[in-house]
Each structure stands twice: as C-alpha cells, then as structure tokens.
Amino acid sequence: MATWGLRSKSLLALLLACLIAVLPTALVGWQVLDGIHTHFSQAYARNTTLLNREKIFAPISREYALSRRFAHSEVVRQFLLDEQDPAKRSLFFRDAEGWREDFRDHSYFLASAPSGSYFFNSDKNYSEQPREVLHENVATNAWFYNTMRDDAPLSNINVDTSAVLRTTKVWFNFVVLDGKRRIGVAGTGLDLSAFLQDFVSNEERGVTAMIVNSEGSIQAHPDKNLIALNSGSGGGGSGHTLFGLLGTDAQREAVRQAMRVSQEQPGDVQLIPVTTAGKRELLALTYMPDLKWYVVNLVDLGTAKVIDGSLLTPLVAALGVLLALMLGGFAYAVERLVLRPIGQLKRTAQAMAAGRYDVQLPPARGDEIGELSNAFGVMAEKVRNHTAELEDRVRQRTQALELANRDMAAAHKKISDSIDYASLIQRAILPRRELVNALGERHAVLWRPRDVVGGDFYIYRAGEDCCLFGVVDCAGHGVPGALMTMLAHAAIDQAIVDVGMADPAGVLARADQIVRAMLQDGVVDNQALATNMDVGLAFVDLAGREVVFAGAKVALYSSDGESVEQLAGARRAIGDKRLGQYTNASVPLQAGRTFYMTTDGFLDQAGGEFGYGFGSSRFSDMIRNHAQLPLVEQSRVFSETLAAYQGDRPQRDDITMLCFRFD
C-alpha cells in the first residue's frame, strides 16, 4: 500500500478547499465587483465635478459681473480722472456704498493709475482716505502694474495676500478705461477662507476639490499652502500648479490635452487616471469659459464612497461564510495531518537547542516527518561533538584576543605619548614668549592646529629698530605636517642667516633653494607627496616707518578701520613643482594701522548656510569692522567670528593668523 507523504496530504487538503469555494467565487466576484466599481467611479467623479461647477459658477459669476459693472461706472471713471474734485469725490463714495452692499463680501477696492492711491472699504472698515500709495518697485504692488500693462487682459481673478489689509482674498480685478487709456483697477474680493468653505470644501471622503486657471496654477484648494498666490494677474504666482501634483510627465501631458478638449467642450467632464503622492486617483475636470477657470476633482477610488455598502453586504456575507468553511476544513486537515506531528518534533528540537542531546525523538513514521526525525538524531550527535571542539577553540581564541588587546593598548599609548611630545616640541619652536616680551599688546596670534600637531607655524625675529614677522603653512596635517614644519623652520632660519631679514623676497628665494635641495631625492622617488609650503614675511623698519612684504601664496592685509589694503603674494609656493618669482612690496608703517597675515586655513574654512569657504571678501570685512580694537580683543573677536561661521562643521585645515600694529 502506497504511503501518503506530508506534502501530498497538505496539497490535497488545500486543493479540496479551493475547489469547494475559493476559486470560482473569488474569480467571478472580483470581475463583477471590478466592473461595477469602475462604472460607478466614473459616474461619481463626473457628477461630483458637475455639481461643484454649478455650486461655484452662479455666485462667482454674479461677483464677476458686478465687479465689471462697477469698473465701467461713469462715476468711477470721473473720480479717477480728477480725484481732488470734492464733488466727484463725494459722489464716488456715495455711489460706491451702493455697490458695496451688493457685493457678497460687502467690500470694494479702487486703485488709481494717475495717483497710485489704493482705496478699500468694507462694512467693518470704512475710510475715504487711501489705504496706501502704490509704487511699481514694491513687490506686493506687482498685481496692479501687471494688470495695467497694455498687453494684459482687461480683467482677471487673482488670489493674493494684501500686506496692508493683512488678509488673503480672491480678487476680481477689472481695468477702468478712459477711451483706450487704462486709468485704474476696480472690483471686489472674497475672503479666501470663506471662499474655500463655501465653494471648495467637500465633506465627501476621498474627494479633493480645487480650481485652477488656464496655466494650471492652483487658485483654490483645501490646503491653502498649495494656492499659487498672485498668479491670476500675470505675476507668476508661487509656482504651485496642478501639474506639480501629478506623478509622471505622461500624466501631465494627458491633463494638458484634457484641458484643451474641455475648452472646446465646456459642458463635458474629462476623466484621466493619475497618481498623486503615491496614490492612484481619478482626475475629473470641466471648464468655465466665463471665468476662465477649471473645476478639478481628485477622487481617491479607494477612499471615496462610490458604491453603497448595503449592496455589498449580502455578497460579503456569502463570501465570508464560504471562506469560513474553507478555512475551517483546511485548518482541521492541517492540524491533524501536519501541525500536531511537527509540534512534537519542535519540542524535541528545542530540547536539543538547550543542550539536551539525549532526548527521546518522536516515534518512527513512514513519511517526511519520520525522515526528519532520523536526521535530527544524526544532527544531535554531530552537534555534541562540534560543541566540545568549539568551546575549546573559543577558550584559545579568547586568550589570544586578550593578549592582542593588551599589546594594542600599549602601542596606542606609545603613539599618543609620541604625538603629545611632538606637540610640545612644535610649540617650543614658536616665538610666543619672544613676541610677548618684545611687543606685548602690539601683536596678537591665532594659532589653531587641526589635530594635536599641525603644519602651520609663525615666525618672529627682532633686530635693532626692526623686526620680521611671518606665517608658514606646510603641506599636510597631523604628524606629517608637523615634520614638515621642522624642515621649513630650519630652511627659513638658514635663509634669514644667508640673506638677512630686511629682504623678505630674498629669504623666500633662498628658502626655496634649501627646501628643494633637502627634498630632491624624496620628490623624485614619489611625485605624489606634497612638499610645498605657503609663506608670508613682513619686515618692519621702525626707523624708516615702512613695512616690506613678500609672500608665497600668502597676502598681507592692512586696515585703519575705514579701508582695507592687500598686498598679494606670489602665485607659487616654496618647493612647488615650478619655480616662483618673489618680489618685495612696501607700504608705510602708519600709526593706528593694523597689519594681518593668515594661512589659507582661515579663508578656506567651510561654514554658513551652504558650506562655502570663509573667503577673502568676508575676511576683509571682518578686519575692517574691528581694526580699531585692541589686538588682544581683535584676536578674540576673529576667533568667535570664525566659530560662528563654522557652526557644526569640522575644522578643515590648520589655522594661523598673525597681526601687529605700531602706534
């Protein structure tokens, strides 16, 4: 007799259940329901859109027509031609009160082209004086001047915020003509919130109603943030369009085509399937030619109440009964044939997982579960042997790892101690004490390595009635940069001895020769290594009252608080691939004038809103604004200014800034 396997039993139970109810019922029901849902969805979207159009058209058309008659009034025209005439002025405000009572919002406005006066009156706020005087260069007045252009339409409906009235309205703008000359704009406005509540709000779930103009700019939407303000008067609006809500270019083109068809057939409703915010919806639109507006509905077919739920109740109940019978039969079969023996095997496996390998396995069976039980027995024996071997290996590896960790900690301490010692040596070559003793408050230094040690340092040499200042930026950061500073310091010291500190350009040229001689073999072996250095040297002749400067990619700035002057350095660094030419430039040593030299770490520091470098222009403005402060105070202000600009961004390079002043 053939033995039924576990897979055969499971498939047989599932097949019988599906044959009884699921397959035919689900297939037929789905097809019928899908056809009904599609038909009713299109009818629902079409009827909802037509209803919204009628709800909007009648009252808005009335306001549109009243605004046009108001703008064509002879009283309005005569008033705009001579606003100072008391009789015309009095007649206009009496006549305008009648118009105000007729308007839905009980308000009107009038903007004069000859005088720029803007009048606005409502039942809560009345004045015969202008609310403001319009100017063409004021951004909030752009609606008026866009409407007054010769090529602009004589009327428009514009959604905009009035800065003077502090309200957002739907404005009906009509040009007032004197013959063919445009002399003003008149009309009324509807409060945007009331407009949206009365005409756009929709209590139906899954339906989003909106109004767009011929360019697709959104004029009304339940979400006020999506309304394109000032788009109706030719101002361009805020960029919110119907097309921006759609998911693909193909859908945008389909909607544009539907808008063109709707203009030709204004009584029809165009339906387009679209995707907005990841949801599949049905877009319905119709055109109102008198207002040049489109009424648009986005219907979320998954949310909107398209079909009466009472119609589906019997069908769902029947399907539920069939599904329950199917699930009950299948669950009984699976429980008896599959789950009960697997549960017994699971408990055996859990005992093995807990380390008890001598547990009793389920009784032998002639199917896959029996084969699995036998495999578990073999596996238990192998796991027991492997576990013993692994535990021994873990003990050995743990001991080796502990030893490696101790060695690594000792090596890390040696490296940290070496770097700290290198920092101490690097600080020892800086002339900080000499500057303090010789100049006191006549100098300030901002020295900030990126790491514990860095590639920047500064120079000071004193002579009789003279001294030499300098800043040096060596290639590299950290330990490599610090080693380069030792080489650079020795080269510049030797160059000063050979040339003399009164000739900064000569010192740079001689230092360039020394560096090239020192690094010649290393550069040949590895062209990728950067061995150049930026240097700026300023020789101060106190007797002659003159500052002689020469730089290699470093500039000398000076300021008296009113202006900033800059002496640029040569374009080639010391040790660059190509030789540079260094020349001396001199400026008078004037009382009250402060001199500054900085490495590019200050100028290149990223910060601000967009992460740009600090830059020369911002640096010049900074020293101009603070050049009259004491130098110690300047150093503090510069450090705070850089920190504020840098924000949370990391320091990009070593920073050295040296400033001096001789009064």
Residue 110, pLDDT score = 92
DSSP-assigned beta bridge partners for residue 110 = 119, 186
What is the CA angle 323-329-334, rounded to 5? 120
Tokens of 520: 């010649």
Average pLDDT for 244-270: 88
DSSP track, 228-251? -TTTTTTS-TTS-BSGGGSS-HHH
| Residue 448, strand partner residues | 655
Residue with token string 């002579």: 463
Rounded to whole angstroms, the Cα distance separating 200 from 193 reads 10
Cβ-count burial 261-275 (b if 16+ within 10 Å, e if not):
ebeeeeeebbbeebe
Beta carbons of 347 and 375 less than 8 angstroms apart? no
pLDDT in tens, 194-233: 777 776 776 677 788 888 888 888 888 888 888 888 776 6
Span 574-596, average pLDDT: 93
Please choose, from the candidates 172, 203, 157, 214, the residue with its C-alpha nearest in 3D space to the C-alpha of residue 51: 203
Side-chain-side CA neighbours of 352 within 13 Å: the count stands at 21
Q: Percent helix, strand, coil in the chain (nearest 5)?
A: 50, 20, 30
Q: What are phi and psi of 652, to 5 degrees?
A: -85, -35
Same topology, domains 63-194 and 430-660? Answer is: no
**Token couple for 412:** 């890390």
Report d(CA 46, CA 48) in Å as an integer: 6
Cα-Cα end-to-end distance for the chain: 117
Whole-Å CA distances, 187 to 17, 65, 69: 72, 10, 9
Distance from C-alpha of 158 to C-alpha of 324, rounded to nearest angstrom: 59
What is the per-residue pLDDT across 396-449, written as a single tens digit (0 to 9) for each? 888 888 888 888 887 777 777 667 777 778 788 899 999 999 899 999 999 999
CA distances from 516 to 135, 288, 311, 520, 521 (A): 67, 82, 93, 6, 9
Confidence of residue 524 (pLDDT cuts 50, 70, 90): very low
d(CA 345, CA 531): 72
DSSP label at residue 337: I
Rounded mean pLDDT, 148-161: 83
Cα dist. 42→8, 296, 611 in Å? 47, 14, 52
**Burial bucket for residue 295 (CB in 10 Å: 0-12, 13-18, 19+):** buried
Secondary structure element (H or E) that encloses residue 398, with its range: helix 368-429
What one-character DSSP code corresponds to residue 440?
Answer: G
pLDDT in tens, 620-648: 999 999 999 999 999 999 999 999 999 99
> Quick check: 47 and 153 in contact, CB under 8 A?
no
* pLDDT tens per residue across span 275-291: 888 888 889 999 888 77
| Residue boundaries of the structural domains of the chain | 63-194, 203-299, 359-429, 430-660
So what's the pLDDT on residue 1?
47
Element (H, E) at 474: strand 466-474
Q: Looking at residues 116-126, what average pLDDT do you find?
A: 89
Cα distance between residue 1 and residue 114, in whole Å: 109
Q: Whose CA is closest to 242, among 191, 281, 193, 197?
A: 281
Q: Which residues of 56-76 are buried (b: 16+ CB within 10 A; e: fewer)?
A: bbeebeebbebbbebbebebb
pLDDT at 334 over 70: no
Query: Could you report the per-residue pLDDT of 365-390, keeping only the tens digit for each?
Result: 677 777 776 776 667 667 777 777 88
Residues 648 and 102: their CA atoms lie apart, in Å, by 60
More confident: 40 or 50:
50
Could you tell me the CA-to-CA distances from 290 to 149, 174, 257, 263, 266 in Å, in that order? 22, 14, 20, 11, 10
Dump the DSSP string for 476-542.
S-HHHHHHHHHHHHHHHHHHHHHH-TT-HHHHHHHHHHHHHHHHHHHHHH-TTS---EEEEEEEEET
Task: Indicate the pTM of the whole model.
Answer: 0.43
Backbone angles phi, psi at 453, to 5 degrees: -120, 160
Using DSSP, state whether 453 is helix, strand or coil: coil
Question: Are 233 and 239 a contacting pair, CB within 8 Å?
Answer: no
Q: What H or E segment, with its residue span, contains residue 652?
A: none
Q: How high is the mean pLDDT of the chain?
A: 83
The helix (run of H) or strand (run of E) holding residue 556 is strand 556-559
Instruction: For domain 430-660, give the fold.
Output: Phosphatase 2c; domain 1 (3.60.40)
Q: Which of 33-37, 123-127, 159-163, 450-454 has the lowest mean pLDDT?
A: 33-37
Q: CA nearest 163: which of 141, 136, 180?
A: 141
Q: What is the pLDDT of residue 660?
A: 96
Beta bridge partners of 656: 447
β-pairing, 167-178 with 270-276? Answer: unpaired
The pair of three-digit structure tokens given for residue 464, joined into one six-digit string: 């009789």
Indicate if the pLDDT at residue 155 is higher than 90: no
> Residue 44: CB partners within 8 Å, gap ≥ 6?
299, 304, 306
Q: Per residue in 419-428, pLDDT tens?
A: 777 777 878 8
Whole-angstrom Cα distance, residue 227 to residue 211?
9
Architecture of the domain defined by 203-299 = 2-Layer Sandwich (3.30)
Q: Is 49 or 504 the better-scoring residue by pLDDT?
A: 504
Give the pLDDT of residue 407: 82
Contacts of 406 (CB under 8 A, 6+ apart): none
* 99-108, 255-264, 284-293: least confident range: 284-293
Strand-by-strand arrangement of the 107-112 sheet: 132-133, 117-122, 107-112, 181-191, 167-178, 155-162
552: helix, coil or strand? Answer: strand
- Asked if residue 238 has pLDDT above 70, the reply is no
Task: With CA atoms as reference, report the closest residue to 635 among 458, 449, 459, 445.
Answer: 445
10 Å CB burial of residue 178 (0-12, 13-18, 19+) is middle
**Which pLDDT score is estimated for 529?**
60
d(CA 76, CA 94): 11
CA 32 to mean position of chain CA atoms = 48
Polymer length in residues for the chain: 663
63-194: CATH topology is Beta-Lactamase (3.30.450)
pLDDT of residue 519: 79
Angle, vertex CA 69, rays to CA 67 and CA 74, nearest 5: 125
